[in-house]
Amino acid sequence: MSSEIEQEIAERRAGVLARIAKAAKSAGRSPDDVTLIAVSKVQPDERVDAMLAAGQRVFGENRVQEAQQRWSERKRSDDGIELRLIGPLQSNKSRDAVALFDMIETLDREKLARTLADAIQAEGRAPGIFVQVNTGEEEQKAGIAPLETDAFIEKVRTGYGIEPEGLMCIPPVGEPAGLHFALLAKIAARNGLRKLSMGMSADFESAIRFGATHVRVGTDLFGARA
């Protein structure tokens, strides 16, 4: 690992953490209540290792197979690493996902609740679960529709013994994200869920104002993806 890259990454991380702290303070919140998820998808290993060297321990990946290749060994040698799945999960990958990830943020349909519950049994390991909400009701986007979310959470709890910890959303491109963050916060509150994964490089400060407990930052932390 070149020291130049190590330094660049350490500076980028310090910059993002400072922005998180500033946004939290101006919202009257504690910076400790906002967790930075470093989104490492597609980034070269060298930059990921530099991020680890800089002290970052929470990472997000959006594909199971890519995450296995990158993280299986790294997690074995550092049990402080927390790995979060932030991309769509096919139900036939549930077992692999449950074995690897500490948190799965993208539960959005009943079939997946069933295969995850089975995988949790089989693996004897229970990652935390977030429900993904398609706040913009976009055709092509994963996530449960806002109006169906309350019933879905209830079904996941009672039908599958999964207690979701929070909600996650990806607002539509080109729309003010604040409305979507506010909607996600409202749905979480009325369902007694305390955690909110929302905000990316372009809008994490706004997400923090609306109550994000987890922000998912890739580009501003690592640089542009190839």
Ligand X SMILES: *Cc1c(COP(=O)(O)O)cnc(C)c1O
> Binding of ligand X at residue 201 (CB under 6 A)?
yes
Query: Looking at beta carbons only, is 94 or 105 nearer to ligand X?
Result: 105
The H-or-E segment that residue 3 falls in is helix 3-26
> Binding of ligand X at residue 86 (CB under 6 A)?
yes
Compute CA 187 distance to the chain's CA centroid, rounded to the nearest angstrom: 18
According to DSSP, the β-strands at 82-85 and 58-61 are: parallel
Q: What is the DSSP string of 37-105?
A: EEE-TT--HHHHHHHHHTT--EEEES-HHHHHHHHHHHHHH-TT-EEEE-S---GGGHHHHHHH-SEEE
Among 58, 20, 77, 71, CA closest to 199? 20
What is the closest distance, in whole angstroms, from the C-beta atom of residue 57 to ligand X in the complex?
Answer: 17
What is the closest distance, in whole angstroms, from the C-beta atom of residue 99 to ligand X in the complex?
Answer: 21
> Binding of ligand X at residue 127 (CB under 6 A)?
no
Is 154 strand, coil or helix? helix
Q: How far is CA 214 from CA 34, 48, 78, 114, 157, in A?
A: 6, 19, 22, 26, 22
Query: Looking at beta carbons only, is 87 or 211 nearer to ligand X?
Result: 87
> Applying CB under 6 A, which part among 107-115, 139-147, 188-196, 213-221 lies near ligand X?
213-221
Q: What is the x/- site pattern for ligand X, positions 16-55, by CB under 6 A?
A: -----------------------x-x--------------
| Count, residues near ligand X per rule CB under 6 A | 13
Q: Which of 43, 87, 104, 136 binds ligand X (CB under 6 A)?
A: 87
Cα(113)–Cα(28) distance, integer angstroms? 36
> Applying CB under 6 A, which part among 7-15, 147-155, 157-165, 196-204 lies near ligand X?
196-204
Query: Looking at beta carbons only, is 86 or 117 nearer to ligand X?
Result: 86
> Applying CB under 6 A, which part among 12-20, 63-71, 179-187, 198-206 lies near ligand X?
198-206
> Binding of ligand X at residue 219 (CB under 6 A)?
yes
Cα(12)–Cα(35) distance, integer angstroms? 16
Question: Which residue is at the shortest CB distance from ligand X?
Answer: 218
> Binding of ligand X at residue 62 (CB under 6 A)?
yes
Residue with tokens 């998912």: 216
What's the token pair of residue 82?
Answer: 């927390």
Contact residues: ligand X, CB under 6 A: 39, 41, 62, 86-87, 170, 200-202, 216-219
